[in-house]
C-alpha cells in the first residue's frame, strides 16, 4: 500500500506532508505507518516506517528529525542529524536545506510553519498543554531568530482531534479561563458538567494573534477517522494497550 500524505497549498512550494497511517509496515493496534519510537511497537518496524516517510520527504532517514516531545513550549534549532539523547522539546526550527523536521501526534496538533521567501521553517507539537504554555508563539519567535519575518510566516495545523470528539471536565475549563476569561469561547456545552474543547480553534487563534501572514487547519479529525489516523483518545475509549503515532514533516 502506498503512503497517503496530506499537503496544504499554503506551504507550497516546500516539500511537506501530514502523513496518515496508510502505507506502513506495522500491524495490530499500530497497523500502518506508526512512526513513534516511544510506542511499544517493534523498533525495527518503526524504523521501516520512518524510512518510508523520509523517502517521501526525499531525505535520508537520519535527516528526518524528531525530538523527545514533552508537552512544553520549548523549541530547538537543528542543522543536521540528532545523535545521542534527543533534546526534550516540542518544536524545531531550521534554515538548513535538506533537513526535514517532523513532529509525532495522535490527537495533538501537528503544526508546520514556513517563511519560504527567507528559507526558514518550523514544526511544532501542540497539544493543549503546549498550546496554552506558548509553543506556537515560541516557534514563530525562533524562526524570526533565524531571519524569518513574522509577516512572511504561514502555518498549517494538520489532523488533530476536533471539538465534537474532545470532551473535557470543568477543571480543564478552569485552567484555560484562569489564564484568560475569553478562552471560554473555545468550549461548548456537553452532557452534565462535560464540555467540548476546540483545540484547532484555539491553535488558530493563538497563531493569528502572533501576527503571522496566515494560518489554517486541514480540517481532519484524528478521532473520527480510524482508517486514516491514530488517536490516543480513541485508543483509551476502546481499551487498547497502546496507540500509533502519526508523523508530519517539512523541509527546505
Checking if the pLDDT of 243 tops 90, the result is yes
* Confidence band for 188, pLDDT divided at 50, 70 and 90: very high
Model pLDDT for residues 193-204, shown as the tens digit of each residue? 999 999 999 999
Contact between 183 and 168 (Cβ < 8 Å): no
Model pLDDT for residues 37-70, shown as the tens digit of each residue? 999 999 999 999 999 999 999 999 999 999 999 9
Q: What is the mean pLDDT of residues 207-217?
A: 98
| Predicted local distance difference test score (pLDDT) of residue 105 | 98
Phi, psi of 136, deg, nearest 5: -70, -45
CATH fold for domain 6-161+216-251: 3.60.140
Q: In what order do the strands lie in the sheet with 15-19?
A: 5-6, 15-19, 246-251, 100-105, 64-65
Model pLDDT for residues 139-150, shown as the tens digit of each residue? 999 999 999 999
| Predicted local distance difference test score (pLDDT) of residue 1 | 65
- Kindly give the pairing relationship between strand 154-157 and strand 214-217: parallel
- Between the alpha carbon of residue 106 and those of residues 22, 30, 34, 235, the distances in Å are 14, 12, 10, 10
| Predicted local distance difference test score (pLDDT) of residue 133 | 96
**Proportion of the chain above pLDDT 70, given as a percent:** 100
Q: Would you say the pTM of this structure is higher than 0.85?
A: yes
Checking if the pLDDT of 252 tops 90, the result is yes
| Predicted local distance difference test score (pLDDT) of residue 185 | 98
Q: What is the mean pLDDT of residues 201-218?
A: 98
Model pLDDT for residues 97-144, shown as the tens digit of each residue? 999 999 999 999 999 999 999 999 999 999 999 999 999 999 999 999
Kindly state the helix (H) or strand (E) to which residue 217 belongs, with its residue range: strand 214-217
How would you label 135-150 residue by residue, b for 16+ Cβ within 10 Å and e otherwise?
Answer: bbbbbbebbbebebee
Distance, CA of 150 to CA of 147 (rounded, Å): 10
Checking if the pLDDT of 35 tops 70, the result is yes
Parse the chain into domains and list their residue ranges. Answer: 6-161+216-251
Q: Which residue has the cell 525495527?
A: 44
| Predicted local distance difference test score (pLDDT) of residue 130 | 97
Amino acid at each position: 500500500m502506498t503512503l497517503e500524505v496530506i499537503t496544504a497549498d499554503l506551504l507550497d512550494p516546500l516539500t511537506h506532508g501530514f502523513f496518515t497511517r496508510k502505507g506502513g509496515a506495522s500491524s495490530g493496534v499500530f497497523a500502518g505507518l506508526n512512526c513513534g519510537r516511544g510506542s511499544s511497537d517493534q523498533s525495527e518496524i518503526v524504523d521501516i516506517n520512518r524510512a518510508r516517510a523520509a523517502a517521501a520527504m526525499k531525505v535520508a532517514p537520519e535527516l528526518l528529525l524528531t525530538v523527545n516531545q514533552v508537552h512544553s513550549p520549548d523549541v530547538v534549532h537543528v542543522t543536521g542529524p540528532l545523535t545521542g539523547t534527543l533534546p526534550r522539546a516540542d518544536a524545531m526550527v531550521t534554515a538548513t536545506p535538506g533537513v526535514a523536521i517532523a513532529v509525532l501526534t495522535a490527537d495533538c496538533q501537528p503544526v508546520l510553519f514556513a517563511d519560504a521567501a527567507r528559507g526558514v521553517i518550523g514544526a511544532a507539537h501542540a497539544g493543549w498543554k503546549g498550546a496554552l504554555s506558548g509553543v506556537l508563539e515560541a516557534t514563530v519567535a525562533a524562526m524570526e531568530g533565524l531571519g524569518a519575518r513574522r509577516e512572511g510566516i504561514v502555518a498549517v495545523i494538520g489532523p488533530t482531534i476536533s471539538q465534537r470528539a474532545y470532551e473535557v471536565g470543568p477543571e480543564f475549563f478552569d485552567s484555560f479561563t484562569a489564564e484568560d476569561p475569553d478562552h471560554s469561547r473555545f468550549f461548548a456545552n456537553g452532557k452534565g458538567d462535560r464540555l467540548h474543547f476546540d483545540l484547532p480553534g484555539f491553535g488558530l487563534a493563538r497563531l493569528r494573534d502572533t501576527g503571522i501572514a496566515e494560518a489554517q487547519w486541514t480540517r481532519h479529525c484524528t478521532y473520527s477517522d480510524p482508517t486514516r489516523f491514530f488517536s490516543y483518545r480513541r485508543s483509551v475509549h476502546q481499551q487498547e494497550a497502546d496507540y500509533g503515532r502519526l508523523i508530519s514533516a517539512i523541509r527546505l
